[in-house]
Chains A and B, each alone.
Chain A
Amino acid sequence: MAQVKINNLTKKFDNLMVLKQISLHVQNGEFLTLLGPSGCGKSTLLRIIAGLEDACKGEVHIADRCVNKVAPKDRDIAMVFQSYALYPHLSVFDNIAMPLKMRFLTSLDRMPVLGRMLPKYRQNKNHIRLKVLEVASLLDIGHLLERKPSQISGGQRQRVALGRAMVRNPKVFLMDEPLSNLDAKLRVHMRTEIAGLHRKLKSTFIYVTHDQAEAMTMSDRIALMMDGELLQVGPPKEVYDNPRNLKVAEFLGNPKINLIPGTIWKEGIIESCGTRLPISLPPGENNCDQVQIGVRPEVLQVVKDGGPAWKGRVVHLEHLGAYFLVHTLIDGMKHSVISRIATTQMALPETGSRIRLRAVTDNILLFGQDGKRIVMHPAIQEEAVNA
């Protein structure tokens, strides 16, 4: 267990800024996910923490020790790679044992024939064997120890890679998209297993992924990155419900958040596509300001009553079993919006029919023209400032 502190980290590749002044504090025993689209710098950040890449500026502290000049093997970390990076010529046992062999045996001990003649050979060998067996039984791969990586399945390889990381009880686990080579079903399964492993080991986990489902389901906190910047750090629910800006709101959520244009008409009322919505705004927001109204698909509901609502035409329907997605072209908009409605809630509207859509104003998000969140309630604003 250890804290990982990153202070003002900057990384440049030639002229390209990959990481811009990143500061992040990972707590003891926390599961933190670095989430972001491909090329946002999340893997580079992980590699800098691992020591496989040098930072241009800034510091990395692991367990209150600055490790900028410390070799990867001395940082007391373990990493699981996307491709698993198992040694193809070694058995599963030897793969898991390798970190122990490289650490506790000298190069003389590791000599093929000479090593056996050295005094502590048997003792060392037994120690390593016990440790490997312990890890293998924890991961349920005890029956595979004699096999080569090519003779086991993708999921099993993933476990071996985890075993190799776990075997010497590192302070911090670093995982670089470890599930992206698995099929969808296995991925969901391994998600639960890795989360369970974290609970069992109580180590600090830093997990890189571009898959928001993985980030939302596994982590204690999500650090959302885009274009080399850290946009928001917080528990999954908070980042989803209370995004700091439009980019965060757009990245999280599937289907994507609906954005409907609007204008602040007068204090407390926004006009949007022929509808007036009563909204309590903090003082200082000017009249006639253009805003984007963010409405999550599950919040945008079809209504039949006569209150204020967006009117539009159903252009497409997707039935997904438990719920359906209604694509509606709101009058005055160029793009359709999506609402997610549980099948039990109402009957499927017909394509081409006219419907009315409404969102509870407490659940909508307001963004200014610059993409920044306009916090509607003073209470929420306070929370956002504190976060």
Chain B
Amino acid sequence: MLKSISSPMPSPIELSTRLPSRQALRQVGLQTIQQRVAFALVTPATLLILILLIGPILIVVGLSFTDWQFGNPAMNFIGMDNYAQLTQDEVFRTSFLNTCVYSLVEVPLSILLGLLAAILIEMGGSLKKFYRAAYFLPVMSCTVAMAITWQFMLHPGIGLAAIVLPFFGLEGFELLQGQNTALFTLCGIGIWQNLGFNMVLFMAGLAGIPGELYEAAELDGAANGWDRFRLVTWPLLSPVTLFVTVITAIRSFQVFDTVHVLTGGGPNNATEVLIYTMYTEAFVFFRTGYAAAITVVFLACVFLFTFIKLYFLEKQVHYK
């Protein structure tokens, strides 16, 4: 009798070995539930990224291998023909070169002037807030409206330029109409607009530099402002400078509004830039396949900037 009762009862040792296995089972169940919840939570964002970002990029890349024209029901796969044509296309070559020139002028100048403005304003006294707002205004304003304003200001007959330029002996000088000056005038407008944005970022960076470092530098023998800038400000601002450089470079590659409103790519393709060429090919000439190839080139440039930031520069500039 005693034996029959005791036999189905597990010994304490058995119990102790069996219990963790149950716990483990429960834990495995918990893990799968957690994994499913995680997937469920990630799915909406992933879907949106796929539909709105990755999908369209893939479609554009796909279209760049076709001769599809906007509105045309048929399309043919033509392989690398569009890209081959790009290399021969004089307008595209000018456009790419112009975009590079625009970037090379606009990026360094808007960064340097932004940094200079940030340092000068931070050093300044009571009018700090006024200057900060004044420099930031162009960033907040509508580019197209500002472009129209610039158009009237630079008008050779009735604009401000018509009044000011003669003082410098430049009578009848047409900044936006001259083949040699149009692109650089657009650069100037771009700098005017981006400077405030860069300045605000630099100001945030400057505010993050501890004041004691400047005092330590002063005691160490950094006698003048330039020494202190080289020893403290510039190295400690480098994460901000990197960010500003990449953002400004990408934005400068995207220049479109001012070109569209002010010059329309002219005179004689002097202000033809990548996005503008893409726009005319896609929505004026409806050569969508060809425009897609230009877009792919543009995307490659943007990826290149991002890649440089991620793999080369970021490792050099973060100290903390």
Binding site for B on A (CB under 8 A): 50, 52, 71-73, 77-79, 81-83, 85-90, 98-99, 102-103, 107, 148, 150, 164
Give me the interface of B with A, judged by CB distance under 8 Å. Answer: 210, 212-213, 215-216, 218-223, 226-227, 231-232, 235-236, 238, 319-320
How near does chain B come to A60, taking the closest CB pair, in angstroms? 15
Q: How far is the CA of A85 from the CA of B319 in the complex (A)?
A: 14
A73 touches B232 (CB 8 A): no
Q: With the chains together, A73 CA to B215 CA distance in Å?
A: 10
Point out the residue from B210, B212, B222 that lies within 8 Å of A102, measured CB to CB: B222
A50-B219, A77-B219, A85-B215 known; 19 new pairs, CB 8 Å cut-off, are: A52-B219, A72-B215, A72-B219, A73-B218, A73-B219, A73-B220, A73-B223, A79-B216, A79-B219, A81-B212, A81-B215, A81-B216, A82-B212, A83-B210, A88-B319, A89-B238, A99-B221, A102-B222, A164-B216
Task: Give every chain A residue within 8 A of B219 (Cβ-Cβ).
Answer: 50, 52, 72-73, 77-79, 99
What are 22 contact pairs spanning A and B, CB under 8 A?
A71-B218, A71-B223, A72-B218, A73-B221, A73-B222, A78-B219, A79-B215, A81-B216, A83-B212, A85-B215, A85-B216, A87-B213, A87-B231, A87-B232, A87-B235, A88-B319, A89-B238, A89-B319, A90-B235, A99-B219, A102-B220, A103-B221
* Whole-angstrom CA separation of A89 from B212 in the bound complex: 15
Q: What total count of A-B pairs have CB within 8 Å?
A: 64
Tell whether, in the assembled complex, residue A98 and residue B220 are in contact, meaning their CB atoms are under 8 Å apart.
yes
Given contacts A72-B219, A73-B220, A88-B320, contact A107 B213 (CB under 8 A): no
Q: What's the Cα separation between A72 and B222 when bound, in Å? A: 10
Minimum distance in angstroms from B244 CB to a CB of chain A: 18
B319 close to A148 (CB less than 8 A): yes
Task: For the complex, give the distance between the alpha carbons of A127 and B268 in Å.
Answer: 63
Tell me, in angstroms, the Cα distance from A298 to B311 when the chains sit together.
Answer: 65
Min C-beta distance of B2 to chain A, whole Å: 58
Knowing A81-B215, A87-B235, A89-B236 touch, does A99 contact B220 (C-beta < 8 A)? yes
Residues of B within 8 A of A107 (CB): 226-227
Shortest beta-carbon distance, A89 to chain B, in Å? 4
Residues on A with beta carbons closer than 8 Å to the beta carbon of B227: 102, 107
CB distance from A139 to the nearest CB of B (A): 17
CA distance A311 to B80 in the complex (A): 104
Residues of A contacting B226 in the complex (Cβ-Cβ under 8 angstroms): 107
Complex Cα distance, B224 from A73, in Å, reads 11
Give A105's nearest chain B residue, CB to CB: B221
Q: Give Cα distance in the complex from A271 to B53, angstroms.
A: 89
Q: Within the complex, which residue of B212, B220, B236 is in contact with A88, where a contact is CB–CB below 8 Å?
A: B236
Closest to B209 in A: A88
Contacts of B216 in A (CB 8 A): 79, 81, 85-87, 164
A90 to B238 Cα, complex, angstroms: 13
A201 to B313 alpha-carbon distance, docked (Å):
43
* Chain B residues, Cβ within 8 Å of A77: 219
Q: CB-CB < 8 A to A72: which residues of B?
A: 215, 218-219
| Closest 3 A/B residue pairs (Cβ) | A102-B221, A85-B216, A88-B319
Q: Which A residues are in CB contact (< 8 Å) with B235?
A: 87, 89-90
Minimal beta-carbon separation of B259 from chain A (angstroms): 39
Residues on the B chain within 8 Å of A99, using CB: 219-221
CB-nearest residue of chain B relative to A82? Answer: B212
Residues of A within 8 A of B223 (CB): 71, 73
CB proximity of A53 to chain B, nearest CB, Å: 10
Q: What's the nearest-Cβ distance from chain A to residue B29, in Å?
A: 43
Contacts of B218 in A (CB 8 A): 52, 71-73
Residues of A near B222 (CB, < 8 A) are 73, 102
Q: Which residue of A lies closest to B218 (CB)?
A: A72
Q: Are B231's CB and A98's CB within 8 A?
A: yes
Q: Which chain A positions have C-beta within 8 A of B238?
A: 89
Least Cβ–Cβ distance between A281 and chain B, in angstroms = 51
Bound together, the chains give a CA A98 to CA B30 distance in angstroms of: 57
Interface centre among B220, B222, B226, B319 (most CB of A within 10 A): B220
Instruction: Give chain B nearest CB distance to A213 CB in angstroms.
Output: 25
Do residues B213 and A85 form an inter-chain contact, with CB atoms below 8 A? yes
Select from chain B the residue with minimum beta-carbon distance to A110: B230
Query: In the complex, which of the residues A71, A72, A90, A150 has the most CB atoms of chain B within 10 Å of its own CB atom?
Result: A72
Which residue on chain A has the smallest CB distance to residue B226? A107
